[in-house]
Structure 1
Amino acid sequence: MRTAYKERIAGRLTLVTSLIILVVFGVIYLVANLTVVNSIDRELGLEIDKHKDEIFLVNGKIQFLHKDEWQEMEHSQIQLNPIFIEIVDLEGHSMDRSPNLRSNHLSFSPEKSAKKEAWTLRIGANEVRQMQIPLFNAGEHEGYLLLAKSFEDSRELLNNLRTVLLLLYPGVLLSLFLAMRYLAGKSIQPIRQIISKTNQITQSNLNERVPLAEPNDEIGQLTRSINELLERLEASLNREKQFTSDASHELRTPLSVLRGTLEVLVRKPRTSEEYQEKIQTALSSIDRMSATIDQLLALAREEKGKFSTKEELELITFLEEISDQMAKEQRRKITFRCESGVPVFVKANEKSLEMIMTNLIQNAVKYSSPESEILVKTGLKSGLPYIEICDDGSGIAPEHLERIFDPFFREQAAVDRLIPGTGLGLAIVKKLAQESGIRISVSSEKGQGSTFRMDFPHS
């Protein structure tokens, strides 16, 4: 079972925050522990400074100057934060100690005496903090003074602090999780609204859009992205519908002609000339359908990325070959002219560029007179390659310049003049050019001819 998104957000934020709080609680405990220990160590230092000058040698033994001080409350009782004192010789043998030690001894550690370093140990049932210093007499090292202070009250304070922090920690985490969960739920509320609205959008109401609440934040960017996607889907669906309708119309017309021709043939016997005429009409309809299907297949191949592989291509040689080949096939005068003094190289798919050039030249041939010349030019402008296909044909009306690349679009004048075509050639050219990153444009004047131009990007 998948966890809700707000639960995951709350969990991740709580996990990160819990680690931060754990570090903070640890620092608090360490600072408190260090403060308490330093405080006790300072007190031990003061006690050592107080007692080290009260010790002297009597008959080779180390004793206190005022023995009655050993009988004071702090040295004779275990309670009330007592002070423990012991004097040892160089080997660590006890020479004298405060009465509150009773039968216990302090820890002997000569290596720590030089640094005046304190450490924690246990004396019987009590935990103490001890410090040790060397004792000198007339420059001679005679023994050590060991002094300890009870650590019980401080340990209880630190234990209570640790207990409070440990008990507080899960409560803080629970509170954090609930707060984060609530805030996460409020934060993703706009996303829920987007989900609810997009779930209501179907093919039948694809024109609807998700309301834009906060345009400048990430939710606004998401909303704009979804709306732009819906616009592209709507445009694609409309193009598909129009394409299907146009394709059906284009295929239905030659099928109707073919059916009508065959129905006429079967009604009664005909002469061989009539059969030949009707069969020729049927073949023309089949040729028209074949051309349409070939163009549709070309569009399908382009949409599947069949022409996506690019390679370096030298345009001058390539265009010379295309121009010569098309001149022979179309039996028209097609002239190639290079306006660059150096070789022109582009990064393109050769098959794709060949299909573009074939369609554009065929288009120029269809809409210009048989005696006119088709001009193919190439060169460099601002360092970028270009190709132009020029004709002096019938031209394109200004209001139709934006639509000539739509599938199945043909000017009514061309239809009325019975100029053959499917209306797919320029659509294929546009798609192939977009796939190759080529910018294609057209300039035309009615009755004066047209010029199709292709500008190539940086290689």
Structure 2
Amino acid sequence: MNQQSFKIRMARRLTAVTAFLVLIVFALIYWVVELTVVNRIDQEIQLELDKHKGQIFLVDGQIKFLHKGEWQEEEHRQIQLKPIFIEIVDMEGNSMDRSPNLRENHLSFFPDRANSGKAWTVKLGAEEVRQMQILLTNAGQNEGYLLIAQSFEDARHILTNLRNILLLLYPGILISLFLTMRYLAGKSIQPIQQIIDQTNQISQTNLNQRVSTQETNEEISALTQSINQLLQRLEKAMVREKQFTSDASHELRTPLSVLRGTLEVLIRKPRTQEEYVQKIQTALGSIDKMSELTNQLLTLARVENGPNIIKEEIELITFLEEIADEKSQESGRKVRFETESGTPIYLMSSEKSLRIILSNLLDNAIKYSGPDQDVILRTGREGNRAFIAVKDQGLGISEESKGSVFDPFFREQQVGGEPIQGMGLGLAIVQKLAEEAQIQIELESEKGKGTQFTLWLQIAD
């Protein structure tokens, strides 16, 4: 239904545009033919007028002919397929003489058109004629008018036939155009219908299926590629969602199991006060771990729900000095701050997001480096961009793990195979917040030598 409706709408629109163009062409054809025919008749009338005005004179109200015998003899020798009508009138328009073919009719007299040099169409009895007129003078005195006309019936018949033919052709052309356009529109959307049929067969269970790209049409191929790319993104998102749900369940199951086991041990038999304190501390540790995981999951969910960035002006050097001092006091580890800029660096960004990003990066740097290894927070500027580098001298990241460090719940393995303690959500939050705040992240790491995360930010004008 939708396909047919779209096909008909497309056919109607194309037909309407073409109909307008055909109408213009037909009107132009008719106008050119009419102009050609009328100009031809007017030229013939002008030739007759030029010929007769030198042969006819009015002298004191009397008609005089120059070489009247020769003129009459010439008129009789000509075979007139298009008869010429001639009439001579005085200054008041009263007829003084006229050609015999006028019979009882008279040509129309228009004093104001005497010297216009143009012809016009008038009625002569039951037929149309093209007429011109000139002023007759003698010795500088206006004596009367010479009126000459030629039949317009044949030309009118030709123009009427042409108009009727064009009017009959027009609806036929429109119907043929509509049927042709509807057929071509149906053929043109067939590949789209095939794409629709294939995409309707793709569901959550077979997101790995793709739309075939056999169509050679460039636009259809681009559409197919876009749909396949969308399906690929959806498939990856579904895989990440399933993995995220599985990992979150696993991370929550562990402290819950510890908490349940601890409580079950407590109620089996009476315990000493020291044993109660120890088990309660273990239970509280499990609760703290679940609270931390829940808070990080909520943070990640808020970031993924959409942009909520409020940008404000930040003086970067002072801001980073405060972050380094706070993290040193919080962790009991020295975070050394360095700057390569001798002047303040101002930028527009979200202070809240930037604080969370740097806190997570510094936590990772402290966690993955030894107690005697330095953690460095450095800043500077290059052109119209500022950078923030968080560097440690710890375990480093292997080459095969660099592409996964920003995935939720991913943790780099130690040499013995045991995972580093943590939730594995810190860098996932960092990446989401950086994308939201339009901060570029670069990762440099070498296994056993340390890691450096570099943030690039646009400096405020």
Q: 1:188/1:306 Cα in 2 relative to 1: closer, same or farther (>3 Å)?
A: closer
Within 5 Å, which residues of 2 pair with 1:374-385? 374-385=375-386
CA 207–419 in structure 1, closer or farther in 2 if over 3 Å, else same: closer
Equivalent residue number for residue 453 of structure 1: 454
Shift of 1:457: 4.5
Structure 1 CA distance for aligned equivalents of residues 362 and 77 of structure 2: 114
What is the correspondence of 1:113-262 to structure 2 with a 5 Å cutoff? 113-214=114-215, 217-262=218-263
Give the C-alpha shift of residue 303 in structure 1: 1.1
Q: How many residues align?
A: 456
- Mean CA deviation greater in 138-147 or 163-172: 138-147
Name the residue aligned to 1:282: 283
Q: What residue identity is the alignment partner of 1:24?
A: V
Runs of 4+ with >6 A deviation: 72-75, 414-418
Q: CA deviation at 1:380?
A: 1.6
In the superposition, relative to structure 1, how do residues 80 and 370 fare at CA in structure 2: closer, same or farther (>3 Å)? same
Equivalent pair of 2:213/2:225 in contact (CA under 8 Å) = yes
Structure 2 CA distance, aligned partners of 1:398 and 1:418? Answer: 17
Measure the CA separation in 1 of the matches of 2:99 and 2:298.
108
CA distance, structure 1, for counterparts of residue 64 and residue 264 of structure 2: 141
Rounded to whole Å, the distance in 2 between the matches of 1:110 and 1:239 is 96
1:261 partner amino acid? T
Segment of structure 1 superposing worse, 303-312 or 220-229? 303-312
AA aligned opposite 2:176: S
1:395 maps to which residue? Answer: 396
Counterpart for residue 295 of structure 2? 294
2: CA distance between counterparts of 1:342 and 1:414?
44
1:272 positional shift: 1.8
Amino acid at match of 1:19: F
Q: What's the offset of the Cα at 1:458? A: 6.2
Does the C-alpha gap of structure 1 residues 306 and 293 become closer, same or farther in structure 2, counting only changes over 3 Å?
farther
Report the identity percentage: 60
C-alpha offsets along residues 116-138 of structure 1, whole Å, 9 cap, x if unaligned? 21000112211111100111223
Look up the match of 1:429: 430
Q: Do the aligned residues in 1 keep the contact of 2:412 with 2:420 (CA within 8 Å)? A: no
- Aligned partner letter, 2:283: A
Cα root mean square deviation, aligned: 2.6
Say whether 1:310 aligns with 2:311. Answer: yes
In the alignment, structure 2 segments of 5+ residues that lack a partner are none
Contact kept, 8 Å, 1:311 with 1:350, in 2: the verdict is yes
How far the C-alpha of 1:58 sits from its partner, in A, is: 6.1
Render the CA deviation track for 1:97-130: whole Å, top value 9, x for unaligned.
Answer: 2233333322212232213210001122111111
Greater shift, 433-442 or 326-335, is seen at: 433-442
Q: Distance in 1 between matches of 2:101 and 2:206?
A: 94
Q: 2:369–2:394: 8 Å Cα contact kept in structure 1?
A: yes
Tell me, in whole angstroms, the C-alpha distance in 1 between the residues paired with 2:400 and 2:29. 79
Which whole-Å CA distance do the structure 1 matches of 2:313 and 2:129 have between them?
A: 86
In the TM superposition, 1:401-412 aligns within 5 A as 401-412=402-413
352-361 or 121-130, larger mean C-alpha shift: 121-130
1:175-198 Cα shifts (integer Å, max 9, x gaps):
111111112222222212211211
- Scaled by the length of structure 2, what TM-score is found? 0.92
Q: Which moved more, 1:52-61 or 1:327-336?
A: 52-61
What are the superposed Cα offsets for residues 59-87 of structure 1, whole Å, 9 maximum, x if unpaired?
Answer: 632255649959x7999xxx964322111
Question: 1:320, CA displacement in angstroms?
Answer: 0.7
Compute the TM-score of the two structures, normalised by the length of structure 1. 0.92
Which residue is equivalent to 1:443? 444
Q: Deviations over 1:304-347 (max 9, x none)?
A: 23543333322111111111111111122111111112222333
Q: Is the 8 A contact 1:307 1:352 kept in 2?
A: no
- Aligned residue for 2:29? 28
Aligned to 1:337, what secondary structure does the other structure show? Answer: strand
Runs (5+) with no aligned partner, structure 1: none
CA contact (8 A) 1:307 1:351 kept: no
Contact 1:378 1:387 survives alignment (8 Å): yes
Q: Map 1:405-420 to 2 at 5 A.
A: 405-413=406-414, 419-420=420-421
Counterparts of 1:365 and 1:449, CA distance in 2: 11
Residue 292 of structure 1 aligns to which amino acid in structure 2?
A: L
Do 2:411 and 2:424's aligned partners in 1 also have CA atoms closer than 8 Å?
A: yes
Is this contact kept in 1: 2:58–2:144, CA < 8 A?
no
For 1:57 and 1:382, how far apart are their aligned partners in 2?
100
Q: CA deviation at 1:151?
A: 0.9
User: Would you say the 8 A contact 1:333–1:372 is kept in 2?
Assistant: no
Q: In structure 2, how many angstroms separate the alpha carbons of the residues matched to 1:329 and 1:13?
A: 72
Code of the residue aligned with 1:110 in structure 2: it is P
CA drift at 1:234: 0.8
Shift of 1:37: 0.6
Hey, what's the Cα distance between the residues in 1 that align with 2:216 and 2:255?
Answer: 53
Which stretch of structure 1 is more off in the superposition, 389-398 or 1-10?
1-10
Matched to 1:251, the amino acid is L
1:360 aligns with 2:322: no
Q: Which residue of 2 aligns with 1:270?
A: 271
Post-superposition offset of 1:383: 4.4
